[in-house]
């Protein structure tokens, strides 16, 4: 079971560079999310998607963009990297079920550790 | 809006000690409640869950009971091990069709031999 796969695991960027963090899930989940985790600060939601073609902003979307062309993939784009974007990024997915609430477990990838210098 | 408040860490215990990590929440209706665990260098993974009042979630010796009257979901374990050292996150998934969860800030647990 692959679950949620994130690539790359580590990356160092220079200020102003751009990159795409990849996320793929093989559970046919409707909902996908991008979070960033800063030390001692918990998780902050960047963007989320409720299905292919539909995305929306979370708590901290500035400096990021997303797209969702398929159910499986949800890439996160950093256009002009800044030191404030140094963080650990997690992608997650969930089924989104109104009836069986126990299905609304979030499944997380292993994370991408990004440093912007 | 929804919120989850966890006790601040780190919590430092000796092996075989009793563990409690407090979690309280604010939400309308009947949210589902979760505890996730994050081991060093890894993503979060589900530890246990409860979807209605008075439900008890349990896994790997950990337990938490959904208390609607006190809006709490405290995590407990009778005897911790060094391998339980990790960060623990309390979270809620709101009722009513929104699948945007709210996470607490996380509580770091350090267990010494």
Q: Which residues of A touch B105 (CB under 8 A)?
A: 40-42
- Does the distance separating the beta carbons of B100 and A102 come in below 8 Å? no
For residues B59 and B5, what is the distance between their CA atoms, to the nearest angstrom? Answer: 22
For residues A115 and B12, what is the distance between their CA atoms, to the nearest angstrom? Answer: 30
Greater pLDDT, A2 or B82: B82
What confidence score (pLDDT) does residue A96 get? Answer: 78
The residues near A50 (Cβ < 8 Å, ≥ 6 apart) are: A30, A31, A56, A96, B99
Residue B75 φ then ψ, to 5°: -95, 135
Q: Is A90 on the interface with B (CB under 8 A)?
A: yes
Q: Per-residue pLDDT tens for B37-53?
A: 999 989 999 999 999 89
* Geometric angle at alpha carbon A33, from A84 and A5, rounded to 5°: 95
Distance from CA of A72 to the nearest CA of B (A): 18
* Closest residue in chain A to residue B100, using alpha carbons only: A48
In DSSP terms, B92 is beta-bridged to B33, B102
For chain A, list residues with pLDDT below 70: 1, 98-103
- Does the distance separating the beta carbons of A110 and B42 come in below 8 Å? yes
Burial category of B22 from C-beta neighbours within 10 Å (exposed 0-12, middle 13-18, buried 19 and up) = middle
Q: Per-residue pLDDT tens for B7-27?
A: 988 999 999 999 999 999 999
List the single best residue of B96, B101, B105 to mutate versus A (max A Cβ within 10 A): B101
CA A56 to chain centre: 12
Q: Two tokens at A109?
A: 């990838």
């Amino acid at each position: 079971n692959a679950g949620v796969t994130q690539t790359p695991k580590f990356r160092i960027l220079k200020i102003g560079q751009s990159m795409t963090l990849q996320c793929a899930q093989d559970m046919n989940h409707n909902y996908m999310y991008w979070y960033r985790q800063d030390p001692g600060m918990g998780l902050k939601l960047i963007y989320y998607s409720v299905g292919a073609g539909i995305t929306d902003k979370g708590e901290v979307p500035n400096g990021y963009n997303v797209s969702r062309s398929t159910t499986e993939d949800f890439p996160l784009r950093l256009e002009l990297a800044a030191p404030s974007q140094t963080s650990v990024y997690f992608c997650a997915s969930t089924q989104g079920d109104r009836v069986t609430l126990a299905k609304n477990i979030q499944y997380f990838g292993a994370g991408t550790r990004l440093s912007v210098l | 809006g929804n919120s989850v408040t966890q006790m601040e860490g780190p919590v430092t215990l000796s092996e075989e000690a009793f563990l409690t990590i407090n979690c309280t929440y604010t939400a309308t209706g009947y949210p589902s409640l979760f505890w996730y665990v994050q081991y060093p260098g890894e993503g979060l993974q589900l530890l246990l869950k409860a979807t209605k009042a008075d439900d008890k979630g349990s896994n790997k010796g950990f337990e938490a009971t959904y208390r609607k009257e006190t809006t709490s979901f405290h995590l407990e374990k009778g005897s911790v091990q060094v391998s339980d050292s990790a960060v623990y996150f309390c979270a809620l998934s709101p009722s009513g069709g929104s699948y945007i969860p709210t996470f607490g800030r996380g509580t770091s647990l350090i267990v010494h031999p």
